[in-house]
């Protein structure tokens, strides 16, 4: 056989194998012929709820199988960015920083896929968060509600602090919050979780100082209001009213774990930690409003959405799954065990009812949203910008860079990363 003939046959065999492999990857391992879709999320605790929802979907769509991929949050954004660029991302994936993918045409246009009326069922703030240039780029799955303060009843009692004092606490002019923390620090290793925590700490303090994180996609948190907010927070750490940034900078769960261990009196956070605290806390606890600042109480209300990969080989199957996950019936599974607040407005009552039946008042997470809100930002290059900003602020919380200088450097780093 001539070399050229062997080469041609070899190429033909390789092509056939590649085609067969491609067809096989689109099918289930059991040879059933079902199309396989992959859904990527970053939180293991949501697997049971999603599995239940997807099992119901598969029963109604026997030609489809959906598999869940869990990529931990610490590496989620970076890996997703690389996989989307390389064409290896899952068919659907959780997102909260979606702008770059939308601008690059990598996401399914939800309005075109599901119709313009679909968004009427979803939380308006979530729809707004995922709308860019007049188009919706993700199906909202759940909302966090506002930020509140979990408190240890036993430690408050030991310090002689009435939980009602938390509801009237103020920081800034006429500060009543720091004296309260000082009392709590006398009975616990730490009083409060001041830290480099973007959603639960930095945004509420920046907003309650009257500042903004972004304006017209430009970072503006180095304002006088920003300096006031971050000076207050870093002062709490310096006075040992909060854990050292050496611990919280390197472990995002340090404060939560300290609270669960009875070492932290007050833990400012969101609904995303409520279920775990309810399951693991071995002491009496409650939920209070966050402290008020010069501009009042200000919170953000983040949402998580599921996006369709525009590069999926199964766009019609992706459309069907997006429709299910955004429906009242499909979204309702996410409220099981009170894990989160569904994005479908009609399902949100199930969340309140679940916790009310357990004797837990979740109203602070909702009441804080009756006041002003601060946007968590967005725009082109936002993911990279946050990655550039965080270490600079980390050095500031460690006390290595003065607050005004650190904020200026952080703004410059974030702006440069956007380009």
Query: Taking a C-beta distance cutoff of 8 angstroms, is the pair 226, 403 a contact?
Result: no
Please report, in angstroms and rounded to a whole number, the separation of the first and last CA atoms in the chain.
57
Query: Across the chain, what does the average pLDDT equal?
Result: 91
Q: Facing residues of 150 across strands?
A: 267, 287
- Residue 274 makes CB contacts below 8 A (sequence gap 6+) with 338, 355, 360, 362
Residues, the chain, total? 419
Strands (E), 96-168: 131-132, 135-136, 139-143, 148-152
CA 380 to chain centre: 18
Q: How high is the pLDDT of residue 336?
A: 81
Any domain includes 352: no
> How many CA atoms within 13 Å lie on the side-chain side of 320?
18
Q: How high is the pLDDT of residue 31?
A: 62
65-74 tens-digit pLDDT:
999 999 998 8
118: containing domain: 35-144+302-343
Instruction: Note whether 181 and 265 are same-domain residues.
Output: yes
Q: How high is the pLDDT of residue 10?
A: 43
What is residue 35's three-state secondary structure? strand
Instruction: Note whether 280 and 313 are same-domain residues.
Output: no
Any domain includes 24: no
Instruction: Note whether 295 and 402 are same-domain residues.
Output: yes
198-255 tens-digit pLDDT:
999 999 999 999 999 999 889 999 999 999 999 999 999 999 999 999 999 999 999 9
Instruction: Note whether 125 and 170 are same-domain residues.
Output: no
Instruction: Note whether 274 and 383 are same-domain residues.
Output: yes
For 199, list phi and psi in degrees, rounded to 5. -80, -45
Q: What domain count does the chain have? A: 2
Question: Which of 9-23, 268-282, 336-350 is modeled with the greatest confidence?
Answer: 268-282
Is residue 22 over pLDDT 60?
no
Longest Cα separation, the chain: 94
- Residue 85 makes CB contacts below 8 A (sequence gap 6+) with none
Instruction: Note whether 55 and 134 are same-domain residues.
Output: yes
The more confidently predicted of residues 26 and 175 is 175
Instruction: Note whether 374 and 229 are same-domain residues.
Output: yes
Query: The domain that contains 315 carries what CATH number?
Result: 3.40.190.10
- % of the chain beyond a pLDDT of 90: 85
Domain end residue (candidates: 343, 373, 395)? 343
360-408 tens-digit pLDDT:
999 999 999 999 999 998 888 888 899 999 999 999 999 999 999 999 9
Q: How high is the pLDDT of residue 198?
A: 96
The more confidently predicted of residues 380 and 22 is 380
33-44 tens-digit pLDDT:
899 999 999 999
Instruction: Note whether 104 and 232 are same-domain residues.
Output: no
Q: How far apart are CA 231 and CA 212, in angstroms?
A: 16
Q: How high is the pLDDT of residue 301?
A: 86
């Amino acid at each position: 056989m001539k070399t050229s003939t062997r080469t041609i046959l070899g190429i033909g065999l390789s092509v056939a194998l590649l085609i067969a492999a491609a067809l096989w990857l689109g099918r289930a391992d059991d040879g059933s012929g079902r199309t396989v879709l992959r859904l990527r999320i970053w939180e293991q605790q949501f697997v049971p709820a999603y599995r239940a929802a997807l099992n119901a979907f598969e029963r109604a769509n026997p030609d489809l199988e959906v598999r869940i991929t869990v990529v931990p949050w610490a590496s989620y954004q970076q890996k997703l960015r690389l996989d989307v660029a390389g064409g290896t991302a899952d068919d659907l994936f959780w997102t909260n920083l979606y702008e770059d993918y939308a601008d690059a045409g990598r996401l399914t246009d939800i309005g075109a896929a599901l119709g313009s009326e679909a968004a009427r069922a979803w939380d308006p703030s979530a729809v707004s968060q995922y709308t860019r240039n007049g188009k919706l780029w993700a199906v909202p799955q759940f909302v966090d509600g506002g930020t509140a303060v979990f408190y240890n009843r036993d430690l408050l009692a030991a310090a002689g602090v009435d939980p009602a004092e938390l509801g009237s606490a103020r920081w800034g002019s006429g500060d009543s919050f720091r004296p309260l923390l000082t009392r709590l620090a006398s009975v616990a290793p730490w009083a409060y979780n001041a830290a480099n925590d973007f959603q639960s700490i930095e945004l509420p303090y920046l907003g309650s100082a009257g500042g903004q994180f972004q304006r017209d996609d430009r970072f503006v948190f180095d304002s006088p209001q920003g300096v006031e907010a971050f000076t207050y927070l870093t002062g709490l750490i310096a006075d040992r009213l909060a854990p050292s940034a050496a611990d919280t900078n390197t472990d995002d769960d340090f404060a939560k774990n300290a609270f669960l261990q009875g070492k932290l009196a007050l833990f400012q956070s969101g609904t995303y930690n409520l279920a775990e605290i309810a399951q693991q806390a071995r002491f009496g606890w409650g939920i209070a409003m966050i402290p008020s600042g010069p501009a009042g109480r200000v919170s953000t209300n983040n949402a998580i959405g599921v996006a369709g990969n525009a590069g999926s080989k199964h766009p019609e199957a992706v459309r069907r799954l997006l429709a299910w996950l955004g429906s009242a019936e499909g979204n309702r599974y996410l409220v099981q065990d009170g894990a989160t607040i569904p994005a479908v407005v009609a399902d949100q009552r199930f969340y309140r009812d679940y916790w009310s039946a357990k004797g837990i008042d979740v109203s602070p997470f909702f009441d804080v949203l009756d006041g002003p809100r601060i946007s968590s930002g967005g725009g082109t290059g936002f993911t990279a910008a946050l990655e550039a900003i965080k270490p600079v602020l980390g050095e500031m919380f460690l006390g290595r860079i003065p607050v005004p200088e650190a904020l200026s450097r952080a703004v410059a780093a974030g702006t440069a990363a956007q380009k």
